[in-house]
Structure 1
Amino acid sequence: MTADKGMTAGKGLARAAWIGLWLALFVALWVWAWPKQIERGCWLAEWPFEQGCSDYASGNLETTTPTQQVQHLERNIGDGFAYLGLTQNLAAQDDSLVAPLLPWLQQLAPHNNRALTLQANASMQAENYEAAAKALTLLVERGETSARAPLVALMLEPSTQDAVRAQLTAQSRWLDPTLASLGAQVPVELLQPFVNEGWKLGVVRLPTALGQVERLKKAGYWLDAYALWVAVLGQVQDGLYNPGFDRRASQRGFDWSWPQQRAGKVGVQLAQVSAAPRAGSMLQVEMTGRGALPQPVASQPLVLLGSHYRFTGRYMSDRLRTREGLVWALRCAAGGERFAQTEALVETQKQWQSFDLEFDMPAACEGAARLQLEAMANWEARAGMAGVMYFDDFELRQRAAESVQ
């Protein structure tokens, strides 16, 4: 009996000693780990109510000094957040230590946009434009909008354009959002090589390419705009685009377009309607008489590099009330007076009639003109007209020299 009690007491002491050992180990770990946990919590601003945070470096960059950050990193060597804060502080002070820190920062925070921004800025200062372009394009792909402005600056500078174009591949996702965000003051012609190459690689969307066409037209670069228009469409016949109105007018590029008027003050309504019983569509121009006619009523920009041309088409009108009628007129794309126009188009009582116009391209137009449907007289456009006109089967061809003679 006594022996059994002794064995039981021995087991109890062994168990107590074992539990005591683990408790001592737990207390030792707690004493070692708790201050570090508090320090980390203070660094990440997770303990705003903790009074002891004043003894540690703060994660707030405005109140954190490089000295504090170095002390923290000596105890937390792999802390990428602290490393980033130190590098940002040194960069703000133009400290020479930034350059050797950046490679380590890239390893500790390879997916941090702020770290990549520091790398881009340092590369720009060192005039290492290849590295700067690589970092900026990656930032744009990650959605960092602030990287677009310095990237566009590199794209506009002839000496750095090649560095940016080297980043352009079939997998690039930075070019389209950069082009789509451009302001009106950007010299669009300098970006044309990027648009052309990006379109060939399939990384520029159709709306962006067409937007570039409009910007080139507005800036007066008609030949560049037309070249991009042809590249976007693949193949375009000479002369008029969509001459029979069979395709829906896009209102952009070198297609047909007409002004959009406010409801209630519509002087004219244009639509592409069925040409039944014939195949295809035709242009319907319905003048309401309730408001002024816009000038032009409809138009299409043209690039004509020849000298002598012939423009033909058919029209029909119904209940057209006008004194002087309408004309298809040609003006230089940059503006100015009419240099050619058809005979006045008047009432035909629902009978199709043809018109024929031969003209020479003025040298002053520099190969770009506009074909426009206009009221013959400006006063009648202001007064408004009533009736319906239809147009179809247009054709614009260059005339041979023998035919001209």
Structure 2
Amino acid sequence: MRQTWRWFGPVDRVSIDDMLQAGVEGVVTALHHVPTGVVWTPEEIAKRQAELAVMKDGGESGLKWEVVESLPVSEDIKKQKGDWRTHIENYKVSLRNLSEAGIEVVCYNFMPVLDWTRTDLAYRLKTGATCMRFDYADFAAFDIHILKRDGAAEDFSEAVREEAARRFSAMDEARQQLLTTNLVFGLPGAAENFTLEDVRQHLAEYASISAEGLFAHFVDFLEEVVPVAEEVGIRMCCHPDDPPFGLLGLPRVMSTEADYKALMDAVDVPANGITLCSGSLGARPDNDLPGMMERLGDRVHFLHLRNVHRETGDIKGSFYESEHLGGDTDMVALVAAALKEEKRRRDAGRADWNIPFRPDHGLDILDDQNRKAQPGYPAIGRLKGLAELRGVMTALSR
């Protein structure tokens, strides 16, 4: 398993030097400043490669850009509206340019409107560490009382509605604004962040798109771009919905093992693969992460290893980010399944036997709380997670 680390470019408060001291082997990054739907040019790709190749003192880092996360899919493509055909053509050009630069793995997602959703970006644990959290009642308070989405109340149980009303009545304007900002934060590092009005407009445009319709649009996208990826030697890998259940009345198409099976069957070529994120998928109790790695492993091109603690046994419920070995997913069993898949690939002579993974997210601990890095991406918390995962890998490999 190849140890990688997500980096948001020169603005990231976790530096190239920090990554090297953590002992990572490769870098996961993207052109976060380029608007969605626009071509990633060879010049911009080369600039990012040059930025991560140099340490603070000017010495060579030896690190290379190995995984793209993410090459975003526009809302126009998902809805098949506006400039969606142009955006697909631009996506193909970007894939070709990335391949020319020597990059072989591209992570992306097909989540409508909100790419990931948390109600709290700095939830305090008993230890004093902070983490990201999704509180279902707080989300209901936002949906029903702040966003005021038509029909929102019908999506929640009576108990959740009552708790949401109680919490909203206790919120001052600042608390309402903070909750709104957290929920529409957008994809980490992205060039665009939505306003509340942007969200309302997108919801109106999605009103006529069912889950079946969104999946059909997804397949249309894949049928266009995957042949290009296959041709140029790129492995595409779809990230799951986060959280892996419906929100805001929007369709979800990548939340379960069955969803991923449908994805692979729809465009059945090796270049059409999976980002197996144990944190996103692990937020619902019916997802068996070690089993998914065993059954779907042939098409797992990238791994996000993180853990969450579910606060209820419901499919839709509250959860918070936990220590990498401390949540509800059996991380040792998942790593064992990944190592087993790597051995199978080596024995079969596959060039892509070494599966890249990164220690996804992490608790803000120690000096992380002063550094104020990208939410979910602290230096020390991720280093602790990587150390724990590295220990598991070493022990299992013996």
**Which protein, 1 or 2, shows the higher relative CO under an 8 Å CA cutoff with sep ≥ 6?**
2
TM-score normalised by length of structure 1: 0.21
TM-score normalised by length of structure 2: 0.22
Q: Which has the larger radius of gyration?
A: 1
